[in-house]
């Protein structure tokens, strides 16, 4: 069995070489971060990537956890005609939960594995600024109305210097998707988007979205309909054709955006599958769906 270990290390060598020194942006979905044991396994995988010479950068979500705390605080989600509105109370909870709870927990787990990490949000060293998405036009009973989405933002500018400062000191950055606008307001930014734009800005070699589904499915009820590889153009079409839908849309869009510029390979994989992160990096087959330009 010992010999087996040695053989496998040697089999992994070409993959280690290939990604040596590479920045890998890993997005941990909101459903992933609430599963303590699962998260511990993923963190250990991330730490392995760090030790074999890669530069992992974590971006996390936290929707379910925000909902749980809001519930505990007796705050009802404000839904206007099906659209969630992030009022002042909601953003306060989001900020507390994402930065103070989820981000901190991940930093702490990485520390337990012997590697230093640091929690960062858009405010720290002005890592990224955001602006309010503003209003959305909807039609209610034939009447056009505009509703203000509140403290929901989109990224305006990324200042990657902060990431460079900490990775140079061998820290793993753990990014919570809270931005700041020019008035100093906290804004909730979609974590998929943050991961995608961060990967792009950092010139990451890979963007890996760790979700609770196997990847992009043609039929969401059939795991066998998994699309292993798809070009950004084709992915765009599938969105239009409503084959890619709901929560998968921002993930795929983030991958498409990342692939436009510097990131060659983006992946949507199932976090629940054991070691899916390692399998993605250390095998040729990979797991889940890869968004990659046709050559």
77 binds its own copies (CB under 8 A): no
What's the min distance (Å) between Cβ of 99 and its own copies? 4
Determine the 3-state secondary structure of 29 from DSSP.
Answer: coil
118 binds its own copies (CB under 8 A): yes
In this structure, what token pair is assigned to residue 217? Answer: 């499915």
Q: Which C-beta is closer to its own copies: that of 16 or that of 243?
A: 16
> Residues 200 to 239: which contact its own copies by CB under 8 A?
none
Q: Which C-beta is closer to its own copies: that of 40 or that of 223?
A: 40
Query: Backbone phi, then psi, for 151, in 5-degree steps?
Result: -85, 50
Distance CA 135, CA 149 (A): 6
- Quickly list DSSP for 193-214: HHHHHHHHHHT-SEEEEEESSS
Among candidate residues 70, 66, 50, the one with its CA nearest the CA of residue 58: 50
282 binds its own copies (CB under 8 A): yes
Distance CA 17, CA 66 (A): 40
180 binds its own copies (CB under 8 A): yes
What contacts 129, CB < 8 A, 6 or more positions away? 122, 155, 156, 157, 159, 179, 180, 181, 182
292 binds its own copies (CB under 8 A): no
From candidates 29, 56, 119, 288, binder to its own copies by CB under 8 A: 119
Would you tell me which residues interact with its own copies (CB under 8 A)? Answer: 2-13, 16-17, 20, 44-45, 47-48, 51-53, 69, 72-74, 92, 95-101, 104, 107-109, 111-112, 114, 116-121, 123-126, 162, 165-166, 169, 171, 178, 180, 184, 186, 274-275, 278-279, 282-283, 285
């Amino acid at each position: 069995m010992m010999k087996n270990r040695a053989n496998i290390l040697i089999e992994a060598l070409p993959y280690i070489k290939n990604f040596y020194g590479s920045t890998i942006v890993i997005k941990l979905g909101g459903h992933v971060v609430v599963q303590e044991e699962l998260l511990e396994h993923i963190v250990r995988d991330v730490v392995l990537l760090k030790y074999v010479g890669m530069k992992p950068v974590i971006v996390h979500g936290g929707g379910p956890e925000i909902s749980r705390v809001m519930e505990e605080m007796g705050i009802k989600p404000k839904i206007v005609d099906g659209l969630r509105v992030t009022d002042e109370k909601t953003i306060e909870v989001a900020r507390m939960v994402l930065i103070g709870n989820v981000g901190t927990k991940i930093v702490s787990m990485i520390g337990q594995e012997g590697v230093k990490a640091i929690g960062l949000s858009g405010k720290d060293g002005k890592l990224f600024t955001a602006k309010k998405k503003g209003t959305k036009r909807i039609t209610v009973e034939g009447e056009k109305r505009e509703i203000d989405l509140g403290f929901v933002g989109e990224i305006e500018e990324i200042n990657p210097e902060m990431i460079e400062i900490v990775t140079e000191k061998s820290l793993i950055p753990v990014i919570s998707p809270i931005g700041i606008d020019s008035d100093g307001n906290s804004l909730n930014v979609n974590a998929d988007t943050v991961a995608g734009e961060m990967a792009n800005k950092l010139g990451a070699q890979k963007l890996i979205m760790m979700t609770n589904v196997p990847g992009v499915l043609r039929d969401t009820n059939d795991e066998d309909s998994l699309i292993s590889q798809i070009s950004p153009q084709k992915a765009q079409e599938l969105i239009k054709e409503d084959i890619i839908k709901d929560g998968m849309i921002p993930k795929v869009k983030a991958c498409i955006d990342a692939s436009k510029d510097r990131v060659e390979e983006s992946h949507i994989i199932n976090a629940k599958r054991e070691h899916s992160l390692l399998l993605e990096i250390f095998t040729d087959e990979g797991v889940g769906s890869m968004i990659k330009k046709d050559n």
